[in-house]
Amino acid sequence: MRRLSASIEPMLQGLPLPDGIAFRGLARADLPAILAALTDWHPDIAIGEERRLVTAAFYEEHASFVGEDDDLEARPVRVALLRQGEELVGILVLEYDAAEHALIGLLSAVSPRKRGCGLGRALIRADEILARAAGAHVVYGFAELDNLPQGASLEREGRHLYAIIPDCEVRRFAGGVTKYVPEGVFLKVLLPPEELLWPDPADLLPRTAALFGMVESLEAAASVQFGACPPAALPPIGPSVAALVAARPVDTWPDVAVLAREIDLPPGCSVRQLRREDIPRVISMFRSSCCDVAAELTSASFYEEVALAGEDQRIAGRPWHVFTVERDGELVGVPYSFYDSQAHTLRIGPGDIDPQDRHQRCSAQIIRLSVLLARAIGAEAVVTRATLSHRRAQIAAERAGLCLWGLIPASERVIVGPGVIKRGFKAFYGVSLVPPEQSRWPTLVSLPPHRAAWARFVRGEASELTS
């Protein structure tokens, strides 16, 4: 069990701050001031991905308060406040991801009256100190791609751009028009270098290899050469299947077997939604698997949040969806996904595929089926991760029509010897389902050269050096 006290003052007392300003932990009495400040400082937060941060219920359910439960798994959110006397001048909201051993910066905000005083830098440094205190392997920060000051501040503190997520945030523009905009993922690995396992170059596809060159330095990112990538060819939902999907109750999972009519499964293969009677053999399959993420599917309690065939199909109450892949009546795969209603994103897990069926055609079709599932429920994005231990996972993601958005370091446990475990990398793939007319990217000339190169890469354009 990992703990991190909400009384953060002793951990942050060494950070330099302007006179009269100090860090404080979160008390329940602070909630009205926090909600008012965020609404005042960042009005667009109410329409963005993190709109939950302006609701008291979010903190009451997930945050640790001073003098209360400090278990990071039970209460994963930590809040650091900057106060000048009784005035709130800065807010840092963090969330611990136990599965990834990561501390994620959900929000970093400074009062408009105090910008330019170094408080933003103090919040970034506090983020890292608290991440190390939590035993995190990585610390994440996010910034809209055209927020040049925030991106530069993160980079000055040792963060590197590892991914760009298109259509990740919502922002108002002139005339009150709202558009989806991309965000950069800036992170820092906190593990010693010897605990990281770098992939074998022979296991990387060309575009994946190019990304490793881009994260080394700003200069490297601006000079790495890469070719154009064709637009994603996403599977459509035909009229007959669309009619069946539309006939289901609102906000429920569709029948995955019906959606599977739109993909080309290998001969003898079929899919169906997980049934309650399947759970024991699915748990057994994952317990015997070497799949790095199998642990979360080996607990019977996990399936209380899974939509099971013939039972509750409401997405709000059952956000996990699991289906089985069978070949001639034998279970050969258990793909699963989670619908993040806050981000309107379907997150696809790798599941497990029997070694005899781990060829790209089957894996790619299963990913395509998950994209259809996302479309059917109105998701705005689909994301997944691919191990870099072999090429087939990368090939499957690309053949399914997903785009390579970045890398995730220290995200895979790899046994390299008796009792020796290192942390490897995964590729981060995704596809936006937001209509192009609702999306807005900054112009490339408005971005620093390294960020412009990243934007070209994620958008599928060739680097300037090769175009």
Residue range 153-177: average pLDDT?
94
Q: Are 144 and 171 in contact (CB under 8 A)?
A: yes
Structure-block tokens of residue 301:
């309690």
Tell me the CA distances in angstroms from 51 to 171, 187, 269, 432, one per residue in order.
12, 23, 42, 20
Beta-carbon neighbour count of residue 320 at 10 Å?
22
State pTM to two decimals. Answer: 0.93
Confidence at residue 355, expressed as pLDDT on a 0 to 100 scale: 52
Residue 352 in this model has a pLDDT that exceeds 60 = no
In tens, the pLDDT along 287-306 reads 776 555 556 788 889 999 99
- Provide the CATH number for the domain formed by 239-401 in this structure: 3.40.630.30
Contacts of 432 (CB under 8 A, 6+ apart): 166, 167, 180, 380, 381, 439
Pairing of strands 178-189, 138-144: antiparallel
Residue 467: per-residue pLDDT: 44
What pLDDT score does 295 carry? 66
**Is residue 357 predicted with pLDDT exceeding 60?**
no
Q: How far is CA 170 from the centre of its chain?
A: 17
User: 53 exposed, middle or buried (CB, 10 Å; 0-12, 13-18, 19+)?
Assistant: buried
The rounded percent of the chain whose pLDDT value lies above 90 is 76
Residue 238, phi-psi category: left (phi > 0), alpha (psi -120 to 50), beta (remainder): beta
Band of pLDDT at residue 266, cut at 50, 70 and 90: confident
Bridge-partner residues for 367, per DSSP?
none
- Give the residue among 78, 80, 81, 79 at the shortest CA–CA distance from 97: 78
What separation in angstroms does the CA of 101 have from each of 97, 140, 189?
6, 11, 11
Q: Which amino acid makes up residue 403?
A: C
Determine phi and psi for 342, rounding to 5 degrees: -65, -45
Mean pLDDT of 18-25: 95
> For 48-64, what is the mean pLDDT?
92
Structure tokens at 247: 């006939």
pLDDT tens-digit profile of 97-137?
998 899 999 999 999 999 888 999 999 999 999 999 999 99
Vertex 272: Cα angle to 267 and 277 (nearest 5) = 125
Query: pLDDT tens across 204-250, in order?
Result: 999 999 999 999 889 999 999 999 988 777 888 999 999 999 999 99
- What is the C-alpha to C-alpha distance for residues 109 and 93, in angstroms, rounded to an integer? 9
Q: How would you class 49 by CB atoms within 10 Å of its CB: exposed for 0-12, middle for 13-18, buried for 19 or more?
A: buried
Mean of the pLDDT values across residues 331-344? 92
CA 73 to CA 319: how far, in whole Å?
19
Domain limits of the chain?
9-136, 239-401
Instruction: Supply the pLDDT for residue 294.
Output: 55
Homologous superfamily of domain range 9-136: Gcn5-related N-acetyltransferase (GNAT) (3.40.630.30)
Mean pLDDT of the chain: 91
